[in-house]
Structure 1
Amino acid sequence: MSSTNSGRGDAAEPEPGLDPLARTALWTAAMRAREHARPDRLFSEPLAHALAGDEGPRIMHLFERDVQRGVEDPALAVRTRFLDEELLRHADRGIRQFVFVAAGMDTRAYRLTWPAGTAVYELDRPSLLAVKGSVIEASGADPGCARVDVGVDLLADWQTPLRAAGFDPGVPTAWLVEGLLYFLTGTERDTLLRQLADMSRPGSRLLADYVGQSVLDGPGMRAWRERMAEQGHPWKSGCDTPEDLLADLGWSAKVTAYGDPEADFGRWDHATIEPGTPGTRGRYLISATIDA
């Protein structure tokens, strides 16, 4: 997040070397640390507290005070648990190559139980990966897989560094794109999703989260979007027809709304909604495949 004081007070001091978008990873880590502390937690993430540092909780509390009015949004906990289960399901079905796109402060390489021979490539900005690496090194934690950092700019050539790091385009891959797509313009989003398809052989999988454009443009999201833009990381795009979007880019997708039986876990107390329905929260989870 930006350190600029916009008149609301409590501006967070930036983590050295991290730009506003990269610092959203500290916010996410703070929310995961809070979930880890709950007796009814949906996942365990013991490294999250250290990764969030002092700035992550300040960002979290600032948004909950100014935008969410003290409400603890269940989406992060539900999303994390849903994607955890999907990743492990793909591992059980034989995939051994995973790529976390814009990995941020994600610690799945450490906290999930991976089959022998699993490789996890984490793509993100070099500065963020350096901060994350120093915190994890200090913790003494060891990954449960072959974990490979790949510092890249996802709006430039990230494929060449990924291949150079050992990625094999000849085997099925599970791609995780979590907390990223809405920060991209429609053109940037389409380019990335097409690049992922081009790097995938049949049997590969894509996991992602996204938001409906009609909801993003609606009055219920106005305060959120304004605050995000003020802090230097606006939400730029959504999509009301994700199945069609992904089909055009080479993916066959199943879309799960928050609150559906597969994405509830006893936390989602809102009615199940369909993507594109005006006036709803309109966020959803995507599980897609490249077919033969």
Structure 2
Amino acid sequence: MKVVKNISEVKNIVNEWKQQGCTIGFVPTMGYLHEGHGSLVVKAMENSKVVVSIFVNPMQFGPTEDLDKYPRDLEKDSKYCKELGVDLIFNPEPGEMYPEGYCTSVDISGLSEELCGLSRPVHFKGVCTVVNKLLNIVNPDKAYFGEKDAQQLAIIRRMVKDLSMNVEIVGCPIIREKDGLAKSSRNTYLSSEERRAALALSKSIFAGKDMVKEGCREVDILLKKMKDIINEEPLARIDYLKAVDAMTMQQVDTIDRPVLIAMAVYIGKVRLIDNFSFIPG
């Protein structure tokens, strides 16, 4: 397994693989890898070669967000990737991705203006820009993203479609801890008390799933029950909890189409997200 920091070297390696008839699976990450990332890598192993990018993208962080504090451990990540069978890690410096004079970005309207886009207005512009760059650099056949970041997944799928990009975007299920908490690099920020409090998110998600399975289609009733569960936890503060059309990210009143029920909740100062989707039968 190679760890490469230079764009041209990645392109040369991938071009050589393509000439050999290999298919390329790509998993873009910001590092500090956990089993959620690992599940994406395992899925990517359906291809001949697997590339993982590890890049904490400054463009998707707002001025008051946790860019400098975001956890990083390249040595641990490299060991994990090697154990999984990854062929190449792309770990560029910010100056490699955004050299002096860089002035181009990729933005998307509509889908980015709800949910996380309301409280993180620059986030998805940064995500679209870096993912576009990474897909151009790695030139994969398939790229793998977790469904925990459901809005991001929908936006990337839309971007790829709108820009006629020659890559298949594959969504992979949320991976949870044994007690239900969705795996996230930000879980490391939680104190032991906050870690226990964070279970309010998954408790709310599981209760919402049960209600929908049992026939509840009224969004206001569903969300009230889910919010009540979270609000029972003193350390929890809801950023948003909404039901939206799974394709457009616009809010719905009734579950009469594929719907995403998504939340962002602060546990202390740590902002966590979770969601579930439902497709009426």
TM-score of the aligned structures, taking structure 1 as reference length: 0.35
Structure with the higher strand share, 1 or 2:
2
TM-score of the aligned structures, taking structure 2 as reference length: 0.36
Structure number, greater radius of gyration = 2
